[in-house]
Chains A and B, each alone.
Chain A
Amino acid sequence: MAATTFAAFDPKPLRLGTVINFTATSAILQGHVVGFAATGIAWEVAPVTGGTAATGIKPIGIALYSAAAGQKVAVACVGSVVKALAATDATIDTGDHVIAGATAGMVLVAPGTDSIEIGIALQDLVTTVPGYILITGPTYVPTGGA
């Protein structure tokens, strides 16, 4: 399950739900899953790694374009249908709930342990080929939860 390398891509929204204007705390690439750090800063996001509750990371959406640290960045949030990139060689099936992956800005299948889901895959996602997800979160899903 090797991690893929992230290269900026156009998330090509089929539908934009809520779009929020944040400030990038570090460099963000177009298509990155972004969110708040464990110790959050108001209206500031960065590429996120890991969507388990233990990491404290709070993914909130996908960057619609690239931004350097300190710049403004528009983030597609809940209700948006946009492309995301799978974090590992493992296929994400259509209908799988996804979290932020171990590699910055990518997504991974939600585990059976505490996690913070960002959305649901609308098609099979394979590495190197971004696919569509519906952003439904962030949603905290504790172990054993629905």
Chain B
Amino acid sequence: MADVDPATVFVYEPNPTYIAETSDFIAGSTILAGQVVAFAGTGVAWSVNPCNGVSTAAVVGVALHGAATGAHVAIAGPGSVILVQNGDDTATLEAGDIVQAAATAALGCVTAETDATAHYQVGILLEAMTAGGSAYALLTPHHYINEGV
């Protein structure tokens, strides 16, 4: 497994086919269009950042456009059908796979859900995802998966 480079892969529009709950947030750091965003571990009101799955992990949704630090950014939330990015440039995923935020290096990307550690769910893939590619997902964030820890 190798993490993708966010600056290299997030060069597309997330092209939502359906936008459900959408909210206006402030970028706590630079956000690229299509990145999964989340509150920081110590949350700041209405401030989101690219999700790193660790300290910035409470998933809100997917950024509809890029935003510099301090700028407003529209986030597609639960129920939206939108492209998400594979954080792994070697692993493929299938339609129906539930995904969570990827590892720290692959900021704003997703990976197959695992019960190894507590995490936040991002959504379910509606089509296959190639290694390092993007695919449509139905967003079902806000679910904290605790694995009994």
Chain A positions near chain B (C-beta within 8 angstroms): 17-18, 20, 35-44, 58, 60, 77-79, 114, 116, 136-146
A136 to chain B, nearest CB (A): 8
Query: CA of A4 to CA of B17 in the docked complex: distance in angstroms?
Result: 37
- Tell me if B53 counts as interface (CB < 8 A to partner A): no
Whether A145 lies near B124 (C-beta < 8 A) is: no
Interface code B120-149, partner A: CB below 8 Å = 1, 0 otherwise? Answer: 010011111000000000101001111110
Query: CA of A42 to CA of B95 in the docked complex: distance in angstroms?
Result: 5
Give the residues in chain B near A146, CB-CB below 8 Å. Answer: 144-146
Whether A44 lies near B98 (C-beta < 8 A) is: no
Please give me the residue from chain B that is nearest to A138 by CB atom: B124
Contacts A/B (CB < 8 Å), 25 sampled? A18-B79, A20-B18, A20-B81, A20-B126, A35-B96, A36-B94, A36-B95, A40-B96, A42-B127, A42-B128, A43-B126, A44-B95, A58-B96, A58-B97, A60-B96, A77-B79, A78-B20, A78-B140, A137-B140, A138-B124, A139-B121, A139-B143, A140-B98, A142-B146, A143-B147
Query: CA of A38 to CA of B94 in the docked complex: distance in angstroms?
Result: 9
Give the residues in chain A near B146, CB-CB below 8 Å. Answer: 142, 144-146
Q: Is the interface of B mostly helix, strand, loop or mixed?
A: loop
Query: CA of A116 to CA of B97 in the docked complex: distance in angstroms?
Result: 11
Query: CA of A43 to CA of B138 in the docked complex: distance in angstroms?
Result: 11
Chain B positions near chain A (C-beta within 8 angstroms): 18, 20, 78-81, 94-98, 113, 115, 121, 124-128, 138, 140, 143-148
Whether B95 lies near A143 (C-beta < 8 A) is: no
Give the residues in chain A near B113, CB-CB below 8 Å. Answer: 140
Query: CA of A43 to CA of B137 in the docked complex: distance in angstroms?
Result: 10
Whether A36 lies near B138 (C-beta < 8 A) is: no
12 new A-B contacts, CB < 8 A, other than A60-B96, A77-B138, A116-B98, are A20-B18, A37-B96, A40-B128, A42-B127, A43-B95, A58-B96, A58-B124, A137-B143, A138-B124, A145-B145, A145-B147, A146-B144
Query: CA of A79 to CA of B142 in the docked complex: distance in angstroms?
Result: 13
Give the residues in chain A near B148, CB-CB below 8 Å. Answer: 142-145
